[in-house]
Amino acid sequence: MKQLILTGACLIALLVSGYSQHKKVTVITTAQNTELRLTQTATLEFAPMPQPLETMPCVFVDTKKSFQTFLGIGGALTDAAAETFAKLPEDKQQELLKAYYNVNNGIGYTFSRTNIQSCDFSSDTYSYVAEGDSTLKTFNVDHDKQFRIPFIKAAIAAAGGKLPLFVSPWSPPAWMKDNNNVLQGGHLLKRYYQAWANHYVKFINTYEALGIPVWGLSVQNEPMATQKWESCIFTAEEERDFIKGYLGPTLTKAGMSNKKLIAWDHNRDLMYQRASTLLHDKEAAKYIWGIGYHWYETWTGSEMQFQNERLVHEAFPDKHLVFTEGCIEKFDLSKVHDWFIGEKYGASLIGDFNAGTVAWTDWNILLDEQGGPNHVGNFCFAPVHADTKNGTLIYTNAYYYLGHFSKYIRPGAKRVVSSSSRSMLQTTAFVNTDGKLAVIVMNTTDKEIPFHLWMDGQAVATKSLPHSISTLIVQ
């Protein structure tokens, strides 16, 4: 008798093709004006349904057509998050780690980011090298050893020992820049291009020697923004030339060609222009793993521009899209339970994944009751805040909205078609490696919307509550 050996890809293909014999659907819901927070609300059975009518709201799922492979969802492990974490009592520290990184009792984060040197969400500005030391002989990360490094190690342990981390600089040291200031933008002086490229390698080697593996890096956080905090300007041409002439070859020479190099790391508005300048240049493109982006183009009054992501993905399908940062700005403690916070996250996650994104990174995973610490007063929201005076945690609805994705879509999952017949029902879907299908459905209206989840001539009837998000697990 011949033995049948199935590869992972073949197994997934068989599993998804078997959805014509549907079993059950488990519905998990978070909804405004209810106590539902990642709560199981129904278990449903499929029944035959031929051609649906136009009058019947439906979410149509086609598992036979798959797209990108999912890498993970996570948040940034910044100085601010680490310092706030250190102020919590031990039981609340453990609660936070479990809430974020435990897939059974939390939301199962599987991705992370941290800053190289100081950023706005640090309590002060600092550098790893002494003034004028272009040889980097004085390089050390002693600053990070008090709060951030122990915090990152605790997160890795809570995630089961594996937590892919990418690292991003906000600014080179002041003396490497034409404005001699880590704040207020400025440009990296060309005579320090090599020293700065060496700095990335030094940082990665140092963190890895301390037990923190580095999965990847971005070239520069927000390279077109002159900020009152740490910032540095790279035009598209400057970033291209720095990558192909310095950073790419330096990483390769150091044996780090396996580190995922992320370019742009800024908003969606200029995303295609930046990607095209970088990726049409073969010498630069060969070093670039993907294009990172943020959601702050909304500062102009614009909506989130998912079409620009999609254009990059269509034009350069061999490169990866990564959401590298987003948060709700202008912190106000009185608004910490406002529902719009989670809905912005939900809209971005759905739109980003449907445009081809493979990984999604929130900004600070934890901030204090003032939306900081932040050394320039740029206070923001996080999914979880600590009341450091009382030693308690405050969960915004963003935490639960994120959980509808991170808890039920796991690394290695494949996105499949999920098409809504009503614009009021926003949706995306992934098939996990265990064969379970996760369908996300979000409703940002004031109305309850009955709908059918339809697949292969079968359907289940369910409903989307006003201002809610649901994950429907098909197995």
Q: What is the pLDDT of residues 231-253, one digit of tens each?
A: 999 999 999 999 999 999 999 99
* Rounded distance between C-alpha atoms, residue 278 and residue 261, angstroms: 12
Query: What are the angstrom distances between the C-alpha of 79 and each of 94, 151, 195?
Result: 18, 9, 25
The catalytic position among 83, 297, 309, 325 is 325
What is the three-class DSSP state of 419? strand
User: Residue 292: what pLDDT?
Assistant: 99
User: Residue 23: what pLDDT?
Assistant: 84
Q: What is the mean pLDDT of residues 132-154?
A: 98
* Rounded distance between C-alpha atoms, residue 367 and residue 330, angstroms: 13
Sequence-ordered alpha helix ranges (H) in 132-246: 148-158, 193-209, 236-242
Say whether pLDDT at 15 is over 60: no
Q: What is the mean pLDDT of residues 184-201?
A: 98
* Rounded distance between C-alpha atoms, residue 469 and residue 382, angstroms: 19
* Confidence band, pLDDT 50/70/90 cuts, at residue 19: very low
Cβ atoms of residues 239 and 219 within 8 Å: yes
Q: What is the mean pLDDT of residues 204-228?
A: 98
Please give the DSSP secondary-structure letter assigned to residue 177.
Answer: B
Mind listing the pLDDT tens digit for each residue in 426-448? 999 999 999 999 999 999 999 99
Mind listing the pLDDT tens digit for each residue in 334-366? 999 999 999 999 999 999 999 999 999 999 999
**How is residue 212 written in tokens?**
């923190």
Q: What is the mean pLDDT of residues 64-93?
A: 98
Mind listing the pLDDT tens digit for each residue in 386-411? 999 999 999 999 999 999 999 999 99
Is 239 a catalytic site residue?
A: no
* CATH 3.20.20.80 boundaries in the chain: 72-411
* Rounded distance between C-alpha atoms, residue 175 and residue 323, angstroms: 31
Say whether pLDDT at 125 is over 60: yes
Beta-bridged to residue 33, according to DSSP, are none
**How is residue 424 written in tokens?**
């009021």
The tally of CA atoms less than 13 A away on the side-chain side of residue 11 is 12
Query: Listing from the earlier edge strand, what are the strands of the sheet with 367-368?
Result: 367-368, 384-387, 392-395
Q: How many CB atoms lie under 10 A from the CB of residue 470?
A: 25
Residue owning tokens 């004031």: 446
User: Residue 17: what pLDDT?
Assistant: 44
Looking at CATH, the fold of the domain delimited by 72-411 is given as TIM Barrel (3.20.20)
Q: What is the mean pLDDT of residues 26-50?
A: 97
User: Residue 21: what pLDDT?
Assistant: 59
Question: Class of the 24-68+416-474 domain?
Answer: mainly beta
User: Residue 465: what pLDDT?
Assistant: 98
Is 222 a catalytic site residue?
A: yes
**How is residue 7 written in tokens?**
């590869």
The catalytic position among 83, 222, 239, 343 is 222
* CATH 2.60.40.1180 boundaries in the chain: 24-68+416-474
User: Residue 9: what pLDDT?
Assistant: 44
Say whether pLDDT at 3 is over 60: no
Q: How many CB atoms lie under 10 A from the CB of residue 192?
A: 18
Q: What is the mean pLDDT of residues 262-283?
A: 98
Checking 176-182 for CB contacts under 8 A at 24+ apart, the result is 176/134, 177/232, 182/117, 182/118, 182/125, 182/127, 182/230
* Confidence band, pLDDT 50/70/90 cuts, at residue 22: low
